[in-house]
């Protein structure tokens, strides 16, 4: 390739798209996200109910369709390169979030949250995740723009994470050993019993947090841990704030439906960990070598899609019938595991 062409590409924002995104696009994006959240909370899931596989499959297809259609809007508004970066970021975030779904299943199972209440706590978990991701994304892009060497740090960290996924056993959060939750218990009075879908309740005139509040905090904490991997990974395919945030947002919005679809199928995704390791290693290498060679966006999107589909395909083919995570039926006692029931009073109905 001629030297002049290399210099021209190097001067064009390190070969990533550099968009002039108007306020109207940002307002439209945030309005769309807000409208989808309100529709989900106030219409589709206004009343708590068990979400069955068929319903979860329909909702998952709907959320994925929304994410893909927004990519077409990006294509129409900013061109094919921008759309390619959006779809690459969306696919990375979606694939890395699958493991997050299984962690949610473990937390909700540990706290014995009834299926009919799970959607509400996951809704607020998703809302908090969107806010946290926005902070991570804008901070990450600001660091990259100010200190170019941060890309090497992100790339090395992703390579380290990829190796760790391969050589270590499949480890998940153990809620019973959470130091974070123990710290929360010191400052927030907790009650053992659920009070419907409420995060707080009153017992003998005193205000207590319910187990759902503890579940919400743990879900937010695990999302922070996952964001440490996923945000740098998406920054490997785009440095444009609008594209990175939009791809993250639409990938995250569909995670609730994906949870109800996949929560008890962890054992069937036996090759998922290896697939995620390959994806992280690929984007880590892409970051490390960015100064000498730019891997085209179309090639990144192709590699990520093929690895993800191959991991799922091999997993389905080699289904080993391992133990699955089961959500307890509604007939069990809904007290928090590991706590006694001898505290004063039952949960009242006047809490919020």
% of the chain at pLDDT higher than 70: 75
Q: How confident is the model at residue 246 (pLDDT cuts 50, 70, 90)?
A: very high
pLDDT in tens, 11-65: 334 477 888 889 999 999 999 999 988 888 777 666 666 677 788 788 889 999 9
pTM beyond 0.75 = no
Token pair of 312 as six digits: 């799922």
Q: Are 100 and 223 in contact (CB under 8 A)?
A: yes
Q: Best-predicted range by mean pLDDT among 87-96, 255-264, 278-287?
A: 87-96
Which alpha helices (DSSP H) does the chain contain, by range? 3-11, 23-39, 53-78, 80-110, 115-146, 150-167, 179-187, 211-235, 241-253, 255-262, 272-288, 297-317
% of the chain at pLDDT higher than 90: 13
Mean pLDDT of 79-103: 85
pLDDT at 10: 36
Distance CA 194, CA 303 (A): 45
């Amino acid at each position: 390739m001629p030297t002049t062409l290399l210099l021209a590409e190097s001067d064009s924002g390190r070969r990533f798209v550099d968009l002039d995104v108007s306020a109207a696009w940002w307002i439209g994006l945030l309005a769309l996200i807000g409208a989808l959240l309100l529709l989900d909370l106030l219409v589709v899931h206004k009343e708590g109910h068990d979400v069955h596989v068929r319903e979860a499959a329909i909702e998952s297809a709907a959320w994925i369709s929304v994410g893909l259609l927004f990519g077409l809007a990006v294509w129409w508004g900013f061109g094919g390169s921008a759309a390619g970066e959006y779809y690459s970021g969306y696919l990375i975030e979606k694939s890395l979030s699958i493991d997050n779904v299984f962690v949610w299943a473990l937390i909700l199972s540990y706290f014995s949250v009834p299926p009919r209440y799970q959607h509400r706590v996951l809704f607020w978990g998703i809302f908090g995740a969107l806010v946290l991701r926005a902070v991570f994304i804008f901070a990450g892009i600001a660091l990259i723009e100010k200190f170019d060497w941060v890309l090497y740090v992100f790339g090395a960290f992703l390579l380290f994470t990829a190796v760790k996924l391969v050589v270590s056993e499949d480890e998940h959060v153990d809620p019973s050993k959470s130091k974070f939750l123990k710290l929360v218990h010191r400052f927030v009075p907790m009650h053992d019993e659920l009070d419907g879908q409420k995060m707080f309740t009153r017992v003998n005139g005193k205000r207590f947090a319910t187990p759902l509040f503890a579940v919400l905090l743990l879900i937010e904490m695990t999302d922070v841990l996952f964001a440490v991997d996923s945000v740098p990974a998406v920054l490997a395919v785009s440095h444009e704030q609008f594209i990175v945030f939009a791809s993250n947002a639409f990938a995250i919005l569909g995670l609730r439906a994906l949870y109800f679809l996949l929560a008890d199928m962890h054992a069937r995704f036996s090759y998922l960990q290896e697939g995620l390791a390959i994806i992280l290693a690929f984007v880590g290498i892409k970051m490390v070598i960015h100064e000498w060679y730019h891997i085209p966006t179309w090639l990144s999107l192709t590699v990520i899609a093929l690895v993800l589909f191959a991991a799922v395909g091999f997993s389905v083919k080699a289904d080993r019938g391992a133990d699955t995570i089961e959500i307890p039926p509604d007939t069990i006692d809904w007290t928090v595991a590991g706590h006694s029931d001898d505290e004063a009073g039952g949960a009242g109905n006047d809490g919020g």
